[in-house]
Structure 1
């Protein structure tokens, strides 16, 4: 009798604990869904937080605000400092698509790249590049649908700095990658398309 009583009490405790855990798990799960909806899914918050042109049209900008990002490289053996500042502009390329009756208009801001190279305290190069500066690589039609995605320092050899750039159509693999060589002696640039690089 004593064993049956212990089994009954153990069973009741397990069932009551199991019921509480299930209830608690449900509450936590609901809370988690609400938090994740705001944090992870841009398309849901887009309807409320981004420009809604009409009832079925959603307009977004990438990035949302005009930003400036700067990347510096110091080459101590040559006493060089290479700064590349990426500044987003008011111009953009548009990607339009429709999902579940909503037309999405995504506007990808174009950018310009400010290249500043100093040797000790002397400015060697101070120039700005936009995507139109590379029209000989891309052609005018591609520039209409592409943005200046990136521009980076790659390496230096002797008196030549090798930079690497990408102009691409947003949300696709369609891009033009190129090497941009700067001869520090003559302060002239040479551009060469990189047809083998995977981006």
Structure 2
């Protein structure tokens, strides 16, 4: 087989011919349609929401900015010195920069010392915050135990006052009512009460 350009092309295989026939057929079976629907349903679109931003770094302090500025200035002075050693001509303004090299070095030492002090203070504060959190976590159960102990002491004091004062006057004192005593014989039958009589045989009234 030769195409229009004159270059030979490979003949289509049997599988390619079958795919073209199935693709161009107007009638699809229900099974093929269900397969196509399942393939479309299983497609998961990418999440359009942006990724969470990384934690932003702390902005440099004024002392750190001064350090960066002085280091850049000293690098420029070093390049000027190299040009001067190479015999190149240097402008008057650039010569003034060379003359102020010592001053820039002293300022850099002071600025670096300030940055070191700031970093030490930040490290101490971070350690202190961690220790305070740990201290609060340790004191939590202890505070709970103290509250429970105080509650038990208050309950004990309340019960003690209630027992001694008749529940602080909320309950009336108990009154015992007389109950007659009945004597029984050995078979559990109540006996007749004994009646005292006088010398004439008349029963005496109880005192």
TM-score (norm 1): 0.20
Q: By percentage of residues, which structure has more helix?
A: 2
TM-score (norm 2): 0.20
Higher relative contact order (CA 8 A, sep 6+): 1
Q: By percentage of residues, which structure has more strand?
A: 1
